[in-house]
Amino acid sequence: MATFILVPGGWKGGWAYEAVVPLLERAGHAVHALTLTGLRPDDDDATVASADLDTHAGDVLRLLDRARITGATLVGHSYGGMVIAAAADRAGGRISRLVHLDAYVPRDGESCWSSTSEGFREVFAAGAAATGYAVRPPDGGDPRRRPHPLASFLQAIRLTGAVAQVPRKEFVYCSGWEDRTPFAALRTRLQADPGWQVHDLPTGHDAMHEAPEAVAALLLAEGRTDASTHSRQAHR
């Protein structure tokens, strides 16, 4: 039995994985879908204002401690890639697999802000204009989305190199929004890195919503495989 810890991207909670969780549980695995500090419905303004990348990495580490988890698979979507990288670097060998699901894969000193596109930096800046500390969700989308702590987008990650020792590291590139994705160059970089497996899914950014069966199939795969194969099967 594997243990999956699912970390959402910006503005979202654990509900972002609601279609994937039962598929993993049905296969006999333990699943924890996190809602990060500052994104919970009852978080006050002070909590949102003070939450940063370290806070969110701490959310993952506290779960590992509380549930006494070892050999975990961390899945991070979008901004969640920053979180799982930071957490894995500090987890003392308790992580066996990282899956960056159309997500940032930072190097030491990078931030979500520095890693993203100019278009998304404009979204972050405009979204934070009202409060100076919380980025309102972009227009449209799921009404459950909440303002996201700006500090978590801005904080530079500090990595010791321990994250590189995680045995299995995977990046999933969602190719269905190539006109706007900030991850094209990252995909090229990781394809050239023998320490990474790179998969393509023909979906938009929110693959968990658009193709939950394909995402679950990828997560349940035992070894090196072509995620696009699972995607085609999931849509038959």
Mean per-residue pLDDT for 28-37? 98
Report the distance separating Cα 123 and Cα 128, nearest Å: 9
Residue that the structure tokens 């050239």 belong to? 192
- Radius of gyration over every alpha carbon of the chain, rounded to an integer in angstroms: 16
Say which DSSP state 147 is in. P
At 5 the pLDDT is 98
- Domain limits of the chain? 3-234
Per-residue pLDDT tens digits for 171-200: 999 999 999 999 999 999 999 999 999 999
Tokens representing 32?
């924890």
pLDDT, mean over the chain:
94
Phi, psi of 91 (to 5 degrees): -90, 0
| Angle (nearest 5°) at CA 106 between 100 and 112 | 95
At 190 the pLDDT is 98
Could you count the other beta carbons within 10 Å of the beta carbon of residue 156? 14
Judged against a pLDDT cut of 80, whether residue 224 lies above it is answered with no
**Cα Dmax for the chain:** 48
Mean per-residue pLDDT for 65-69? 98
Its pTM stands at 0.94
At 236 the pLDDT is 30
Architecture in CATH for domain 3-234:
3-Layer(aba) Sandwich (3.40)
Identify which of 104, 80, 97 has the alpha carbon closest to the alpha carbon of residue 7. 80
Q: Which string of DSSP letters, residue by residue, matches 35-62? A: --TT-STT--HHHHHH--HHHHHHHHHH
Judged against a pLDDT cut of 60, whether residue 54 lies above it is answered with yes
Per-residue pLDDT tens digits for 138-169: 999 899 999 999 999 999 999 999 999 999 99
**Using H for helix, E for strand and C for coil, what is the string for 67-97?**
HCCCCEEEEEECCHHHHHHHHHHHCCCCEEE
